[in-house]
Amino acid sequence: MVVIGEHRHTQVTVDLQAIKHNVEMEMARKDPLTELWAVVKANGYGHGILQVAQAAKQAGATGFCVAILDEALALRAAGFTEPILVLGITEPEYAPLIAEQRISVAVGSLDWLQTAEKILTANATPDPIHVHLALDTGMGRIGFQTPADLARTVTWLRAHTAQFDFEGIFTHFATADQSDDTYFTHQVNQWKRLIAAVGELPRYVHVSNSATSLWHQACNGNVVRFGVALYGLNPSGTALAAPYELAPALSLTAQLSFVKRLAKGQSVSYGATYTADRAEWVGTVPIGYADGYERRLQGFHVLVNGQYCEVIGRVCMDQLMVRLPAQVAVGTQVTLIGRDGDHEITLQDVADYCGTIHYEIACGLAPRVPRIYQD
């Protein structure tokens, strides 16, 4: 298989020890009877699904959460035998495959179960599907909203144990990463109202994403879905301080591919939006918006030899230009995310400049940027 980007000096480096550190810190803090399931959806938030899953498992994770069925299948194909929960809705037509691969799925309606039951029966599928009922307590995404609908579904589910294993029940908090807990409290109350309709609870009861476990630990249930904090990123951005040190796992580096002297009055990049007001040295870096380095990062900075260097002119699809403090050799390392000398550029810094969240920046780093793993 050809690795696109292998012959270009641009790479993401993932520190697997940082991943393990973050898991170990959460493991030490949570209740011993509460499991930690590593959320590795979206290719491990851009870090690499299989490598992150392995590191998390080594540090104590006992299960995994993904967003789509194919991510779960990738984990199974790689030999992971732990519970894997697909958090999004999966089409019921794949019910036999779900059962065969022992994958747990989120279910938010009785219709889904009834459709899947017919498909399982028609295919004479021998194994049941592991079901986690999703409760919509205020996220407004998927799940049951009323006690009556939930109770009706639980009754039906318990009458069809040959096709379904009622394994779990869960919800997701929308504002657990905010200092104002008004809406969070509203969701907790909705959760309690809904859960009262269930009767005997299933094996897994879980409400905690990273933010909930960090700042509302009393709500944990018996599983923590450890997501963005797994990667050393604060779920709240800068709004709340984490209760322990999170170790960022990702850095993004490249090398200068071209260095030139720019004369006063010369312009750089598309639209000629930058014009030198004096003679200066300019370096070209082989990364652009096709790699996930946003076009809106014009005017931001990178690190070269431990010094901040401004991104000048528009970021191109595959290249960008930076103003250098002096003539620098071609091949010199450029740090776009990470530490160089006394300075550091974090994913949060990049996200703040772009007016977004660090999740989006990490997930947006393109597959053609090779991932290098350090353990």
Binding residue numbers for substrate: 141, 317
Annotated binding-site residues read 141, 317
Interatomic CA distance for residues 70 and 280, integer angstroms: 50
Interatomic CA distance for residues 228 and 230, integer angstroms: 5
Residues 6 or more apart whose Cβ sits within 8 Å of residue 121: 163
Q: Concatenated DSSP letters for 12-27?
A: EEEEHHHHHHHHHHHH
Q: Report helix angle 49-59 to 69-77, nearest 10.
A: 70
Residues linked to residue 166 through DSSP beta bridges, in sequence order: 131
Q: E strands, the chain, where? A: 10-15, 35-39, 63-66, 84-86, 104-107, 129-134, 164-170, 204-206, 223-226, 250-255, 258-262, 267-268, 274-275, 280-285, 301-304, 307-312, 320-324, 333-340, 343-345, 371-374
| Distance from the Cα of residue 371 to its chain's centroid | 15
What is the distance between the terminal CA atoms of the chain, rounded to a whole angstrom? 24
Interatomic CA distance for residues 199 and 186, integer angstroms: 22
Taking residue 110's Cβ as centre, other Cβ atoms within 10 Å add up to 17
Helix (H, G, I), strand (E, B) or coil at 152: helix
Taking residue 162's Cβ as centre, other Cβ atoms within 10 Å add up to 13
Show which residues are catalytic.
41, 270
